[in-house]
Amino acid sequence: MRSTATSSATSLPLGELPQPSPVIPSPSEGADLASRMTDAVGLAPLGDDRETATPFIESVGFYASLPVLQFYGRRYECAAIDHAGTFDYSSPFFVLADGQLTERGPSFITTLLRREFVQSHEASIRAGIPLPVMDLILGGRNGVLISSRDPTNEAGITALLTTPSRHAHAEGYIDRVRNTPPELREECHQKALELWAGLQDARREERREGRIASGGVPSLPKEPSPHVSTAIWKKWLRNMREHPCTEGRFTFKGVPFVCNGYLNVHVDAARALLALLPLSSKKSRPGTIRGPLRDAFLRSAAMLLNVHGMYGETITRLRLTIAPQRRAHFYNPSEFADESHLNCEHVARFLASVGVTVAEAETWRQWAAAYVDMSLTEHPEDALLQDAMRDARARIDADHSLVLKKVNPGTPGYYSPVLEQSRAQRAARHTAYHSRENSSTNAEAGPSAPMGEEAPASPVHPEDAREGNTAYANEQEDEDTWMGPA
């Protein structure tokens, strides 16, 4: 389904909506949802030779592989979709179930909604106002998302999927088929998915051959959504670094290239913070928004989180209360501050409002330190970034236990007083040696440095591993734990 509505920067209201109570009595509290998947209220039981992999949502009485937003009696309610009974607020799609579950069975019209559409109609959802039908392609009944307007035979499906001018309609049709549970599809729908996959492969191959024939280079891979896995992000980072257009010079602030790879501690923090930003409304650019707001939010977040304890101190100073549970809300410029006025206090207010604890914020300090350091490399005269780095180092000087853990001493943002002292002593010895050499005017030309003082091949001096980050040295054997998959 394709919506004409544009994405809003407002947050999803779903976290504040109630969970529905089914009309049909539910099993005893604590029963696993998996045991209810075959208790199909109002549906014919499946045969013994067929097993369903789609959860059965008892509160609405039909199968669904997406979060369900039920509308009845001028109010919206959320229905759980997994075995743990949780509602996936990060899903790119939702199912709008317009109707009710009666004692005779489910009676719903089920329609596929894009996340952007839900965002743009937040006010209507909060007020319990029906969503505008003119902006929707209504689906079928009781879990079927395929519209009555969609083709129902092989000839019609082939014509739709192979006509270039109908590509947008074809994409919406495939989304509706793909998100309709397999138990509710017909044979022609499965063939449509197979035909579409083959067409997509053929189009990719044509584009690749066209680039090779014209001497062009592949386009840059798109940034993934913050809700996908860390492994996918690390693969994207590597692909960007190795792409012909970047020639190995690609950088992603806060996630430095370390020891021939990327650390989980940096990637996980970047994903967590990006997930707090509104999603892009452009289908060609999935993930979070780009531009000044994103840059200002991440910069202010890095300056706040880079200094150990500053987030908690800001919460106390502003007399804020951290929400008791994490809320699936995006940063809203109209509620806090736009990119021109955003600062650390605004970020602290927002993080507290969505339930980010002081302990969780501390796990993002490695990312913040790297972000500040990498930003200063680009803008060395930035006074605010300089202050953030100086304040962070001052606290580490006062308490050496605050030295960053699980990062290489050569990582951007890493600082250790012991390590800095070791480097200063080594530099002093090196300078003294050269002074002696220069004072011997009659001495024969010798090496430019004492034996054993040659420049190291890596950015970390051999002595640094011994005198620097003790935690890092102790965790060498468990490197896979924090490096993660390549």
Output 276 or 73, whichever has higher pLDDT: 276
Inter-residue contact 180 to 171 (CB < 8 Å):
no
Q: Which residue from 394, 395, 405 is spatially nearest to 469, judged by alpha carbons?
A: 405
- What pLDDT digit, counting tens, does each position of 240-251 carry? 988 878 777 899
pLDDT number for residue 447: 47
pLDDT, one tens digit per residue, over 404-426 is 998 888 889 999 988 887 777 77
In this prediction, residue 34 carries a pLDDT of 26
Closest of 194, 100, 94 to residue 145, by C-alpha: 94
Distance of CA 129 to the CA centre of its chain: 31
Q: Dihedral angle at the C-alpha atoms of 90, 91, 96, 100, nearest 10 degrees?
A: -80
Neighbour-count burial of 418, counting CB atoms closer than 10 A to its CB (0-12 exposed, 13-18 middle, 19+ buried): middle
Position 208 pLDDT exceeds 80 = no
Kindly report which listed range (5-19, 151-165, 221-235) carries the lowest average pLDDT score.
5-19
pLDDT in tens, 324-354: 998 888 999 999 999 999 999 999 999 999 9
With cut-offs at 50, 70 and 90, classify the pLDDT of residue 117.
confident
- Tokens 């509308």 sit at which residue? 71
Highest mean pLDDT among 8-22, 374-388, 420-434: 374-388
Query: CA 242 to CA 262: how far, in whole Å?
Result: 14
What span, in angstroms and rounded, lies between the C-alpha atoms of 73 and 91? Answer: 25
From 37-51, 182-196, 239-253, 410-424, the region with the lowest mean pLDDT: 37-51
* CA distances in angstroms from 303 to 149, 151, 170, 248, 358, listed in the order given: 53, 54, 46, 28, 15
Q: Say if residue 478's pLDDT is above 50.
A: no
Residue type (1 letter), 167: H
Q: What are phi and psi of 171, to 5 degrees?
A: -60, -45
Q: What is the pTM of this model?
A: 0.51
Q: H/E/C letters for each residue in the chain?
A: CCCCCCCCCCCCCHHHCCCCCCCCCCCCCCCCHHHHCCCCCCCCCCCCCCCCCCCEECCCCEECCCCEEEECCCCEEEECCCCCCCCCCCCCEEEEEEEEEECCEEEEEEEEEEHHHHHHCHHHHHHCCCCCHHHCCCCCECCCCCCCCCCCCHHHHHHHHHCHHHHHHHHHHHHHHHHCCHHHCCHHHHHHHHHHHHHHHHHHHHHHHHHHHHCCCCCCCCCCCCCCCHHHHHHHHHHHHHCCCCCCCCCCCCCCCECCECCHHHHHHHHHHHCCCCECCCCCCCCECCCHHHHHHHHHHHHHHHCCCHHHHHHHHCCCCCCCCCCCCCCCCCCCCCCCCCCHHHHHHHHHHCCCCHHHHHCCHHHHHHHHHHHHHHCCCCHHHHHHHHHHHHHHHHCHHHCCCCCCCCCCCCCCHHHHHHHHHHHHHHHHHHHHHHHCCCCCCCCCCCCCCCCCCCCCCHHHHHHCCHHHHHCHHHHHHHHCCC
CB atoms within 10 A of CB 137: 21
- Percent of all residues in the chain with a pLDDT value above 70, rounded to a whole number: 72
Q: How far apart are CA 307 and CA 389, in angstroms?
A: 8
Give residue 5's pLDDT band: very low, low, confident or very high (50, 70, 90): very low
Q: What is the mean pLDDT of the chain?
A: 76
Using DSSP bridges, classify how beta strands 62-63 and 105-114 pair: parallel, antiparallel or unpaired.
unpaired
CA distance 372 to 306: 8
Residue 27: Cβ within 10 Å count: 12
Q: So what's the pLDDT on residue 46?
A: 36
- C-alpha atoms less than 13 angstroms from C-alpha of 346 in its C-beta half-sphere: 19
Predicted pLDDT of residue 55:
82
What is the distance between the alpha carbons of residues 448 and 454, in angstroms, rounded to a whole number?
9
Question: Between 110 and 328, whose confidence is greater?
Answer: 110
Average pLDDT over residues 194-210: 78
pLDDT at 365: 95
32, pLDDT greater than 70: no
Mean per-residue pLDDT, 144-148: 90
pLDDT at position 374 is 94
Q: Compute the residue count for the chain.
A: 486
Residue 69 has pLDDT above 60, yes or no: yes
Contact predicate 353/329, CB 8 Å: yes
Beta strands 68-71 and 93-102, pairing class = parallel
Confidence of residue 59 (pLDDT cuts 50, 70, 90): confident
Look at residues 344, 104, 92 and name the one whose alpha carbon lies nearest to residue 352.
344
Is there a contact between 100 and 107 (Cβ–Cβ < 8 Å)? yes
